[in-house]
Amino acid sequence: MATYKMTFFLQNSVDNTGWTENWWTLATDAVTALGNVNNYLTVRAATLLDSCSIVALRACNVDTPRDSLYLGTSLPIAGTIARATYPAAGTWDCLLCRRDITLNNLIGHMFMHGVPAAIFTGRAYTPAAVSGLNWVVKFANFVTELTSGPYYLRKKQTGPPPFTYGECVTFLGIRRTEHKLGRPFDALRGRRAVA
């Protein structure tokens, strides 16, 4: 089976920003790879503010560069948390998450943008203190999808490629942090025309 890098494209229409989230999966072809991670769209949208949405998903075969496929249907998927009720943590503020391939073996971090400020007390991640949002359940569903699904992480190594990959077995919310974002995604290619 081939290894596919799955890139989820997200954007915030109110703050006019965009970002990506990356995972890897094993599949025989790009269509199967897109199907492998289809549940991610639902569980991730449940943790997003309604001003944010998942606008695209790309599967890239890392074993055969330039072999990629975009998901063309069912997108965009909007977030489900009402921003009017639960304001955003901030344009650049996000939940810093730790993701491991074995217990307590740090592989990397993920910056979860588009989350409400209510899940934090200062910089501390305090999701249980929120009433009415049901964040603990939403985040738990997201973690269950990541740790029981076909989501792989690229292992750290000192030598040159080929890289090796391992299944994500731990995903933990750590604290509030800042991480810069880019501009939203659109269909334009190459240099943008100046208006």
Is 192 inside a domain boundary? no
Is 9 inside a domain boundary? yes
Radius of gyration, alpha carbons of the chain: 17
Q: What is the DSSP letter of 124?
A: E
Is 142 inside a domain boundary? yes
Token representation of residue 38:
């289809």
Range of the domain at 52: 2-178
Q: Are 153 and 145 in contact (CB under 8 A)?
A: no
> pLDDT tens across 80-137, in order?
999 999 999 988 999 999 998 876 666 788 999 999 999 999 999 999 888 889 999 9
Give the C-alpha distances (Å, rounded to integers) separating 103 from 32, 98, 174: 28, 11, 15
Q: Can you give the pLDDT of all 195 residues of the chain as single tens digits? A: 899 999 999 999 999 899 999 999 999 999 999 999 999 999 999 999 999 999 999 999 988 776 788 887 788 999 999 999 999 998 899 999 999 887 666 678 899 999 999 999 999 999 988 888 999 999 999 999 999 989 999 876 666 767 788 899 999 999 999 998 887 766 544 443 333
Is 195 inside a domain boundary? no
Give the C-alpha distances (Å, rounded to integers) separating 131 from 80, 85, 100, 118, 173: 16, 12, 29, 9, 18
Residue entry with tokens 């999966």:
25
Is 187 inside a domain boundary? no
